[in-house]
Amino acid sequence: MNTTPMPATAAVPGHASAAYGLLGLPLAFVALPVYVHLPNLYAQQYGVTLAALGAVLLLSRSIDAVVDPWLGRWGDRLYSHSWQAVWVAAMLLATVVALGFAALFFPPAAALSPTGLLLWVGCALTLSHLAYSGLGILHQAWAARQGGGGLAQSRWVAWREGFALVGVLLASALPALWGWGATTALLVVMLALGLFTWQKTAQKAAASRVLATSSHDTTSLWQPWRHAGFRRLLMVFMLNGLASAVPATLVLFFVQDRLQAPKAMEPLFLGLYFAAGALSFPLWLKVIDRIGLLRTWATGMTLSVLAFVSVVTLGAGDTTGFLVVCALSGMALGADLTVPGALLNQLIDRCGERGRTDGAFMGWWNLATKLNLALAAGLSLPLLGLWGYAPGQQDADAVLALGLAYGLLPCLLKLLAGLALYAGLMRRPDLILMPAEAANPSA
- Each residue of 219-255: pLDDT tens digit? 577 888 888 888 999 999 999 988 888 888 888 888 8
160 pLDDT above the threshold of 70: yes
Max mean pLDDT range (145-149, 197-201, 366-370): 197-201
CB crowding 124-148: b at 16 or more within 10 Å, else e: bbbbbbbbbbbbbbbbbbbbbbbbb
Triad 386, 388, 389: Cα angle to 5°: 105
* Cβ–Cβ < 8 Å for 437, 149: yes
Which pLDDT tens digit goes with each residue over 325-365? 999 999 999 999 889 988 988 888 777 777 677 778 888 88
CB atoms within 10 A of CB 56: 23
Please give the average per-residue pLDDT across 134-146, as a whole number: 86
Please give the average per-residue pLDDT across 257-279, as a whole number: 85
Rounded Cα distance between 90 and 443, Å, is 37
Of 269, 222, 234, give the one whose Cα is nearest residue 250: 269
Cα separation values, 128 from 31, 36, 61, 79, 125, Å: 10, 16, 11, 23, 5
- Categorize the per-residue pLDDT at 38 as very low, low, confident or very high, splitting at 50, 70 and 90: confident
Cα separation values, 395 from 64, 257, 266, 269, 398, Å: 37, 9, 21, 23, 6
**Greater model confidence, 170 or 328:** 328
% of the chain beyond a pLDDT of 90: 19
**Greater model confidence, 313 or 297:** 297
Residue type, 328: L
- Categorize the per-residue pLDDT at 2 as very low, low, confident or very high, splitting at 50, 70 and 90: very low
Residue type, 155: R
307 pLDDT above the threshold of 60: yes
Please give the average per-residue pLDDT across 134-162, as a whole number: 80
- DSSP characters for 17-64? HHHHHTTHHHHGGGSHHHHHHHHHHHHHTS---HHHHHHHHHHHHHHH
Q: Report, at the CATH architecture level, how domain 14-212+219-439 is classified.
A: Up-down Bundle (1.20)
442 pLDDT above the threshold of 70: no
Of 394, 377, 1, give the one whose Cα is nearest residue 215: 1
Kindly report the length of the chain. Answer: 443
Please give the average per-residue pLDDT across 261-276, as a whole number: 84
Please give the average per-residue pLDDT across 3-26, as a whole number: 66
Please give the average per-residue pLDDT across 22-37, as a whole number: 79
CB atoms within 10 A of CB 293: 26
Which pLDDT tens digit goes with each residue over 277-292? 888 988 998 998 888 8
Rounded Cα distance between 318 and 240, Å, is 27
- Categorize the per-residue pLDDT at 316 as very low, low, confident or very high, splitting at 50, 70 and 90: confident
Rounded Cα distance between 399 and 391, Å, is 10
% of the chain beyond a pLDDT of 70: 88
Mean pLDDT of all residues belonging to the chain: 81
Global model pTM greater than 0.75 = no
Max mean pLDDT range (43-52, 112-121, 193-202, 204-213): 193-202
CB atoms within 10 A of CB 312: 15
Rounded Cα distance between 57 and 362, Å, is 22
Phi, psi values for residue 12, rounded to 5°: -105, 150
441 pLDDT above the threshold of 60: no
Which pLDDT tens digit goes with each residue over 196-228? 999 988 877 654 354 444 444 445 778 888 888
- Categorize the per-residue pLDDT at 438 as very low, low, confident or very high, splitting at 50, 70 and 90: low
- Quick one: pLDDT at residue 409? 82
Phi, psi values for residue 292, rounded to 5°: 95, 170
Rounded Cα distance between 154 and 267, Å, is 29
Cα separation values, 54 from 61, 125, 285, Å: 10, 13, 37
Rounded Cα distance between 277 and 335, Å, is 8
Phi, psi values for residue 320, rounded to 5°: -65, -45
